[in-house]
Amino acid sequence: MWVLSSKLLLLWTTGLHKQGPLSAVVSQFASHHVSASLLSPGDGGIKPVAKSRRRTSGTSTDQRKNGGSDGWQRPERSARSETWKGESPEWPRREGDSRVSSELRRLSLDDFPAEKAKMAGQKSTAHAREAPYEVLFGVAPCLLALTQGRRRARKLFVKDGVASHRAAVLEVCEEAHRRGVQVQRISKKELDRMSSGRLHQGVCLQASPLAYLAEDRDPPAPTGRDPPLWLVLERVQDPMNLGAILRSAYFLGVDRVASSLRHSCPLSPVVSKASSGVMEVIGVYGYESLQDMLKVKVARGWQVVGSVGAGAEEPPIPVTSCLDFRMTKPTVLLMGGEGEGLSRELLSLCQTLLTIPAGRELFPGVESLNVSVASGILLHALLSSRGSAGR
């Protein structure tokens, strides 16, 4: 039997490149003999394994495409190869190649806990980068965002150079340090890019965004003797206008600012800068339906006052000069958006329309004021009349 095996192995080694039925039979027997030698102990089983590997590496291209004619490669195709069927046929790859199957990577991480912890940290860092953050710019918005605590501050960026030693900038840095916010010095070019070329005054703050507040179920009752005044904005879309309105409303003492949620600009960093940081202090409420909210206010005894330009057509609602109006009960002042003004639905709920008298005869097309300027004038007139109404 051994003699026969030796002859067959001799034929197999001398006829490696010959094709035909006999070579196939011999290669199958050699494969069986190698497998048996591999499973049996002893030095005799080692040499055939080396020969079989050289045989496999010498297989022609056509044989590799068909799985090989010597029958040695086929047993290697197991259930695991079916599992990795969707992976690249060139697997396994070189060390460090990132294109390794996810299954193999998972098994590797299980064997190396340190690498697993490292990748978990990388995933956590990537998730932190994807968190919803925006960039505030300007000294006042950044400082008030830090002091008010309504945002989650992530990092403060300060212009590198002499400008960072200004008292206002140092105050922002000290506040960030006090609250455990990382401070990083960067170039002016990088600050310009972060603020989209707007005036950043040497500081930018990466923080979570602010959203409109939801309606209180039970709003607190007014504590002062004067009736409250709410400013309600419909479809104000310019962030510069909204910021200026918030600044005036806060300065003059408005009790609440509200806005329609639809077709209105969000509370963005541009709004915060235009308001000189007031947006970080005052809460702005958002309503899906201003009409429903106003109906509730009217039912509770509030008066709804709208605004109209000096050159507008005569509406069916009484028009009063803001200089002659006296605010004697809780009031809602409605201000419409740029261009279209108040909608018909809200105009129908107004008891009075206020107008700002012009100081001269106006040319056609300039009969009205900017919404932020008009809001400031009307608010000042109403709040001033509120103090003098009881005299």
Tell me: the pLDDT tens digits for 247-275?
Answer: 999 999 999 999 999 999 999 999 999 99
In three-state secondary structure terms, 307 is: strand
Report the alpha-carbon distance of residue 342 to residue 234 in Å, rounded: 7
Query: Residue 17: its pLDDT value, please?
Result: 45
In three-state secondary structure terms, 320 is: strand
Report the alpha-carbon distance of residue 107 to residue 111 in Å, rounded: 7
- What integer is the mean pLDDT of 156-185? 93
Report the alpha-carbon distance of residue 268 to residue 110 in Å, rounded: 45
Cross-strand partners of 337: 341
Secondary structure tally for the chain: helices H, strands E: 15, 11
Q: What percent of the chain clears pLDDT 90, i.e. is strictly above it? A: 53
Q: How many residues does the chain have?
A: 391
With 0-12 CB in 10 A as exposed, 13-18 as middle and 19+ as buried, what is 97?
Answer: exposed
Q: Comparing 81-95, 195-209, 275-289, which segment has the lowest mean pLDDT?
A: 81-95
pLDDT tens, residue by residue, 26-60: 344 344 443 333 333 444 443 443 444 444 444 44
Report the alpha-carbon distance of residue 101 to residue 87 in Å, rounded: 6
| Max CA distance (Å), the chain | 129
User: Which part of the chain has CATH 3.40.1280.10?
Assistant: 229-388
- What integer is the mean pLDDT of 163-185? 93
pLDDT tens, residue by residue, 199-230: 999 999 999 999 999 977 656 666 667 999 99
List, as one string, the DSSP characters of 171-222.
HHHHHHHHTT-EEEEE-HHHHHHHTTTS--TTEEEEEPPP-PBPPPSSPPPP
pLDDT band at 169 (very low <50, low <70, confident <90, very high): very high
- Residue among 270, 310, 263, 265 nearest 289 (CA): 263
Cβ(349)–Cβ(331) under 8 Å? no
Q: Comparing 6-10, 20-24, 284-288, 345-349, which segment has the lowest mean pLDDT?
A: 20-24
In three-state secondary structure terms, 321 is: strand
- What the block records as the tokens of 51 is 């020969």
Query: Residue 116: its pLDDT value, please?
Result: 46
What CA dihedral angle connects 178, 183, 188 and 192, to 10 degrees?
-80
Give me the residue label for tokens 């400013």: 231
Cβ(239)–Cβ(268) under 8 Å? yes
Report the alpha-carbon distance of residue 269 to residue 162 in Å, rounded: 26
Residue with the larger pLDDT of the pair 153 and 12: 153
Model confidence at 11: pLDDT above 60? no
What residue type is 116 in one-letter code? K
Query: Residue 308: its pLDDT value, please?
Result: 84
Query: Residue 63: its pLDDT value, please?
Result: 43
The pairing of strands 284-287 and 256-260 is parallel
The pairing of strands 352-355 and 203-207 is unpaired
In three-state secondary structure terms, 149 is: coil
Model confidence at 279: pLDDT above 90? yes
- What integer is the mean pLDDT of 19-24? 44
Cβ(233)–Cβ(342) under 8 Å? no
Q: Which residues lie closer than 8 Å to 209 by C-beta, 6 or more apart?
A: 132, 133, 134, 151, 266, 267, 268
Model confidence at 367: pLDDT above 50? yes
Average pLDDT of every residue of the chain:
75
Query: Residue 224: its pLDDT value, please?
Result: 66
Q: Which CATH class is domain 229-388?
A: alpha beta
- What integer is the mean pLDDT of 292-321? 87
Residue with the larger pLDDT of the pair 386 and 170: 170
Cβ(56)–Cβ(16) under 8 Å? no
Q: Which residues lie closer than 8 Å to 84 by C-beta, 6 or more apart?
A: 91, 101, 103
Q: What percent of the chain clears pLDDT 70, i.e. is strictly above it? A: 62
Superfamily name and number for 134-207: Ribosomal protein L30/S12 (3.30.1330.30)
User: Which part of the chain has CATH 3.30.1330.30?
Assistant: 134-207
Report the alpha-carbon distance of residue 110 to residue 104 in Å, rounded: 10
CB atoms within 10 A of CB 325: 17
Distance of CA 357 to the CA centre of its chain: 45
Report the alpha-carbon distance of residue 308 to residue 319 in Å, rounded: 8
- What integer is the mean pLDDT of 157-179? 92
Model confidence at 377: pLDDT above 90? yes
- Residue among 245, 256, 217, 258 nearest 346 (CA): 258
Tell whether pTM > 0.85. Answer: no
